[in-house]
Amino acid sequence: MSDTAAIELVGVHKDFLSHGDTVQAVKPTDLAVGQGEFFSLLGPSGCGKTTTMRMIAGFEEPSGGTVFLDGNDVTGVAPHKRDVNMVFQSYALFPHLTAYQNVAFGLERKKVAKDEIRRRVGEMLEIVSLTGMEKRSPREMSGGQQQRVALARALVNGPRALLLDEPLGALDLKLRQQMQIELKRIQREVGITFVYVTHDQGEALTMSDRIAVMEGGRIDQLGTPREIYEKPATRFVAGFIGTSNLLDGSVDSISGGVALLVFAPEEKVLVPVPPSVTDGTKLEISVRPEKIDLSRDAPAAADCSVLTGTVREVVYHGTSTNYTVRTSAGADLVVFDQNAYSAEDLAGPGDRVYLTWSPQHSYPIGVRP
Partner 1 sequence: MRHRLAPYLLVLPGGLWLLLFFVVPMVTMLSLSLQEGDVVNGYVLTGHWQTYVDAITNYRVQLVRSLIYGAITTVLLIVAAFPVAYFIAFYGRRRKATLLFLLLLPFFVSFVLRTISWRYILTDEGILLGPLKDAGLLADSFHILGTPVAVILGLVYNFLPFMVLPIYVALERIDPRVVEAARDLYASPLVAFRRVVFPLALPGVFAGVLMTFVPASSDYVNSAVLGSSSTTMIGQVIQSQYLVSSNYPTASALSFTLMAVLLIGVFAYARALGTEDVMKVAAR
Cα-based angle 116, 121, 123 (whole degrees, multiple of 5): 95
* For partner 1, the closer CB: 154 or 273: 154
* 254 vs 15: CA distance, rounded Å: 45
* For partner 1, the closer CB: 79 or 223: 79
Shortest distance, position 349 Cβ to partner 1, whole Å: 49
Shortest distance, position 23 Cβ to partner 1, whole Å: 18
Shortest distance, position 235 Cβ to partner 1, whole Å: 35
Shortest distance, position 45 Cβ to partner 1, whole Å: 17
* For partner 1, the closer CB: 58 or 309: 58
Query: Which of 167, 113, 106, 155 shows the shortest CA–CA distance to 130?
Result: 155
Shortest distance, position 214 Cβ to partner 1, whole Å: 21
* For partner 1, the closer CB: 83 or 252: 83
Shortest distance, position 316 Cβ to partner 1, whole Å: 42
* For partner 1, the closer CB: 88 or 134: 88
Cα-based angle 361, 362, 367 (whole degrees, multiple of 5): 135
Residue 336 and residue 322 in contact, taking contact as beta carbons nearer than 8 Å: yes
- Alpha carbon 128 to its chain's center: 24
* 262 vs 361: CA distance, rounded Å: 17
> Of all helices (H) and strands (E), which one includes residue 175?
helix 173-190
CA distances from 275 to 230, 241, 254, 258, 368 (A): 20, 27, 10, 10, 9
* For partner 1, the closer CB: 18 or 319: 18
* For partner 1, the closer CB: 88 or 262: 88
* 68 vs 31: CA distance, rounded Å: 10
Shortest distance, position 104 Cβ to partner 1, whole Å: 10
Residue 334 and residue 203 in contact, taking contact as beta carbons nearer than 8 Å: no
Q: Which amino acid is at 105?
A: F
Residue 237 and residue 220 in contact, taking contact as beta carbons nearer than 8 Å: yes
* 167 vs 93: CA distance, rounded Å: 13
Pairing state between β 210-215 and 38-42: parallel
What DSSP character marks residue 366? T
* For partner 1, the closer CB: 92 or 254: 92
- Alpha carbon 312 to its chain's center: 31
Shortest distance, position 118 Cβ to partner 1, whole Å: 17
* For partner 1, the closer CB: 68 or 91: 91
Shortest distance, position 89 Cβ to partner 1, whole Å: 8
Return the sign of the alpha-carbon dihedral for residues 206, 207, 209, 211: negative
* 260 vs 248: CA distance, rounded Å: 13
Shortest distance, position 53 Cβ to partner 1, whole Å: 11
* 245 vs 250: CA distance, rounded Å: 17
* For partner 1, the closer CB: 125 or 259: 125
Q: Which residues make up the interface to partner 1 (CB under 8 A)?
A: 57, 59, 78-81, 84-86, 88-90, 92-96, 105-106, 109-110, 137-139, 153-154, 157
